[in-house]
Structure 1
């Protein structure tokens, strides 16, 4: 096998992060030797067979435990490159600092749109996000030998903060296009209405207020629509009772069943206030379901079906039959995998 790449996710263990780590590890393993550094033992089952080794699971899932896990990994494996794939401010600082200390090349991945987050926050949270993302969050950029952005918007964010354009590569998230495709079974939603799907957790950052304000307006004009929500929900929508019949909250769905809901839907809605390039958008497109998403982050890199105002959102939804769709997934997964391998080989 080729050079050893230490992929760090620390204590991050959400489904999306583990899935990203799995896809990245699979891509790297074609020509390189990837190791995963995680303090979460439950991650092991999800990535078993993808990584050459999994390190750090005996450490506590804390910043101190993450530092200890990565330090031990460096001493035991002496990797050729260290790669942080999530939580850019904190994990970027941990990985970048230890990489500099041990003279190991460090690749930083700008996931999400952290530099923008404070703009949609308020009160003490606004100060916290600015301090974490825009003050501490700049430090890893100076430590990185190379940066990965998910799209052109992310690249611009990095350039505006002093990163040389030649040190930035655009590499979109990898989606399993065999699993997420137009072909296959569809979920039985027991309705003859057109389906607008929301996939994920309802929250203020994911556009909860937009949904509460616009769904009644939409349904007053299109009574043939139904909105279906999948994903674990800790908050509920405040929708007038006369429209509740048009709202179906499915809740958590087994990962293997998620593609069935994309295929059953006529369109996806994603009114999130801040994003990088969300996997849900890419999965919907790969499944043949056109998304309707707020124009934030790198979403326009994947789809033109975007809105900036709530009135635009309403108009797009009620005329969803006119949505611009893609007959094929916009990103070639084999090419994305090759981009990772080529980047690390160059470094």
Structure 2
């Protein structure tokens, strides 16, 4: 069976989805996998895929990106005659175009709802809020109507898709791959990890990795830090860049908050291995890779109730006061909920069954039409 996995256009940096692409590649390695589009294929996953470059230019807006995806898919279908089309990331712009192209060409499609897509407009205001609502909640319904199957990360995603019209029988729970590079593993010597990063060995360290922006919950986190700092000596390490980095530096001393800036992914495991707890203040998520990286390093995650994060960790806190209290009391669990769903054996079986089912359904539909004619 030939499966076409859409990469996106040249301006889509795919390194941040290398784990997802690798997970699909490992699980479906007994099929012929094409990675198509004008985006580059991450080096770490090239053994799994044949890269098929399309010819369309990069779009300028999210709406023209949907059109670009449609055209890429149509070109790929003409050239390679795939049995299934698969969208892995950027649901808002990739999934509508891919579902439309597959539906028109009679090729089964699998789309992947990888975040809290239908609610994220609430984090914006004015014209931008209206535009994102249109993109996510109007165009975002196209895959719900036209996809042959949809992958979600857990019960929250399933409920969101079902509520908006996707047949529950066509919704499959497959979270992001939980088995990561061996770099992401518990340290043998945490004190040594801290010395390498010039971090104190005698204090609790709470870590955040990501963009330091309002949409990632930095106002929420700043309130958490203030509450914790007034009660106990905890060091917050916030690794990343963004518009709130300067604000955080002005608000907190280096003894309370360390801001190392952007850390390359090849080095980020060093920070996880030095931490006692990972804090996640973002209000709109699916199950982000940073949480899986932290938990693979043996670091408990304390998070807001965003997306399907509650499918992964029991440490869910609603307010800054609740998150601060959990950190102050060290009242967190390192339990990995629903762990089997994140394993390669489960995901290989689930993905294999899924692609066979959509291909079989398409074959039966074609056969029925031929008999009627």
2 CA distance for matches of 1:39 and 1:339?
29
Q: Are positions 1:182 and 2:192 aligned together?
A: no
Q: What does 1:29-44 align with in structure 2 at a 5 Å threshold?
A: 29=29, 31-41=30-40, 43-44=41-42
Question: Which residue matches 1:23?
Answer: 23
Larger Rg: 2
Q: Are positions 1:123 and 2:126 aligned together?
A: yes
Q: Cα gap change, 1:175/1:184 in structure 2, threshold over 3 Å: closer, same or farther?
A: farther
Q: 1:298 aligns with which of 293, 296, 308?
A: 308
Q: 1:317 aligns with which of 327, 344, 347?
A: 327
Question: Which residue matches 2:368?
Answer: none
Which segment drifts farther, 225-234 or 175-184?
175-184
Question: Which residue matches 2:74?
Answer: 71
Runs of 4+ in 1 over 6 A off after TM superposition: none
Contact 2:6–2:85 under 8 Å retained in 1: yes
2 CA distance for matches of 1:46 and 1:168?
29
Deviations 1:162-207 (A, max 9, x none): 1111110000001333522225674533312211110111111111
1 CA distance for matches of 2:221 and 2:172?
35
Alignment: residue pair count: 340
Q: 2:51 aligns with which of 54, 67, 72?
A: 54
2 CA distance for matches of 1:67 and 1:56?
14
2 CA distance for matches of 1:327 and 1:136?
35
2 CA distance for matches of 1:91 and 1:300?
26
2 CA distance for matches of 1:79 and 1:242?
55
Which segment drifts farther, 290-299 or 210-219?
210-219
Does the residue aligned with 2:279 lie in a helix, a strand or coil? Answer: strand
1 CA distance for matches of 2:252 and 2:285?
32
Gaps of 5+ in 2: 60-64, 359-373
Q: Cα gap change, 1:110/1:287 in structure 2, threshold over 3 Å: closer, same or farther?
A: same
Q: 1:252 aligns with which of 242, 259, 262?
A: 262
- TM-score normalized with structure 2 length: 0.85
Question: Which residue matches 1:140?
Answer: 143
Contact 1:294–1:307 under 8 Å retained in 2: yes
Contact 1:270–1:294 under 8 Å retained in 2: yes
Q: Cα gap change, 1:245/1:57 in structure 2, threshold over 3 Å: closer, same or farther?
A: farther
Deviations 1:86-107 (A, max 9, x none): 2223211111111011100011
Q: Cα gap change, 1:327/1:82 in structure 2, threshold over 3 Å: closer, same or farther?
A: closer
Q: Cα gap change, 1:241/1:164 in structure 2, threshold over 3 Å: closer, same or farther?
A: closer
Q: Are positions 1:103 and 2:106 aligned together?
A: yes
Query: 1:109 Cα deviation (Å)?
Result: 0.7
2 CA distance for matches of 1:235 and 1:15?
24
C-alpha root-mean-square deviation of aligned residues, in Å? 2.1
- TM-score normalized with structure 1 length: 0.91
Gaps of 5+ in 1: none
Does the residue aligned with 2:266 lie in a helix, a strand or coil? Answer: helix
